[in-house]
Amino acid sequence: MADTTSRSMVEQAVTVEPAIVVGAGAAGLAVARALMKAGVATAILEKESRLAEPWRRRHEQLHLNTHRDLSALPGLAYPKGTPAFPHRDVVIRHMNDFHEANRLPVEFGVSVESITFRGDHWVVRTSAGSRLARHVVVATGRDREPFTPQWTGMQAFAGRIIHSADFGDAQAYAGKKVLVVGAGNSGFDALNHLAGVDTAAVWLSARNGPALLPKRVGKIAVHRLSPLMARLPLRVADAVMAVTQRLVFGDLTKFGVPPAPAGGASRLTSDYTAIAADDGAVDAIKSGRIVVVPGVREFTRDGVILANGSLIAPDIVIAATGYRTGLERMVGNLGVLDEKGVPLFNGGQADPKLPGLWFTGMRPSIRGCFANAGILAKAIAARIAGSSRPSGATR
């Protein structure tokens, strides 16, 4: 009882900040700008020592699958001459330019450990001490923690097992036998790069087929149509994607690719599976340079046993098996996460039992993460700025 009273007295002596944004990625920067433009004083807490650190860790060949014009942060276009699908380094520079242009108050090296509700404000416990806020926006990203399944026997495997987040330099796979596990967005990104490398062998292990679109049809960047697609009913968007995939690629099941369990737009909504983009992988599958095999059953010292009992012997296994939000430690006790750790509320939606807690950038969008960051930022800022609570109140 004494500890609770002491803690309450300490909190009462601390200013309750109007808003704290957790995470300075694209979603966090966009919502911070929107809040500040709406007149809401905002602090941004970032655990890394510099901006765009997750982007810097991605492989050198990485380009966006989303078009330049739909991949800019609000109010700041890419420089003239930027390619249609910007390179990783261009994205990093864009985020830094946005930070400087909007004078966003990012506090680097501050990690958030937990967020607790106190009835009319929030306690944000960080590596640098506790902060109090009326509103907290969690923008730490849906791909915060790479996820690798714990396959039977993987510890005994003599080869390398890496996550697709650690793909590295594509040329490092020259002369190697490579197994890519997963036919989603990350899996096809790896395959697109491997298709241009002189590997000894490449296999794709897929339990489910992807919703797969080309980067371009002729000279048209397919992603330019995403705002239109986002306005369609799910079943119509599913049908448009399925027809496009079939017309451009033909029947990929002839080459061993499993059928998709549901439409691309529906899977974005139901299980947060992003749409994959082809940039050479399909031609490699059709030519036999990439061989599609069944799902992984288990590992042995010398290889991988597949679901049909056959054995392959890759030198390197790339687990393109997705990511987790890692939010359980921060907000897991609040009842705001689903079974996959994804927030139940996103953007301008919030749990009425937990006023002032917001999430952004936690789900994939057909528009892409940058365009969606701007849309969600506006929605959150409108809700916070329109709140009946005085934003500058203290206790």
Residues forming beta bridges with residue 130, ordered by sequence position? 125
Distance CA 288, CA 204 (A): 11
The H or E element containing residue 108 is strand 106-108
Distance CA 212, CA 214 (A): 7
Using the predicted structure, report yes or no on whether residue 5 has a pLDDT greater than 70: no
Answering whether pTM is above 0.95, one says no
**Structure token pair of residue 267:** 């899977």
Q: In what order do the strands lie in the sheet with 296-299?
A: 296-299, 304-306, 311-312
pLDDT at residue 393, rounded to an integer:
36
pLDDT at residue 7, rounded to an integer:
52
- For 359-368, what is each residue's pLDDT tens digit? 999 999 999 9
Using the predicted structure, report yes or no on whether residue 390 has a pLDDT greater than 50: no
- For 188-226, what is each residue's pLDDT tens digit? 999 999 999 999 999 999 999 999 999 999 989 999 999
Task: State what percent of residues in the chain have pLDDT above 90.
Answer: 92
**Structure token pair of residue 131:** 């902060």
Distance CA 117, CA 123 (A): 6
For strands 177-181 and 304-306, give the pairing.
Answer: unpaired
From 91, 62, 88, select the one nearest 79 (Cα to Cα). 91
At residue 93 the predicted structure's pLDDT band, cuts being 50, 70 and 90, is: very high
**What's 33's DSSP letter?**
H
Residues forming beta bridges with residue 146, ordered by sequence position? 323
At residue 153 the predicted structure's pLDDT band, cuts being 50, 70 and 90, is: very high
Task: State what percent of residues in the chain have pLDDT above 70.
Answer: 95
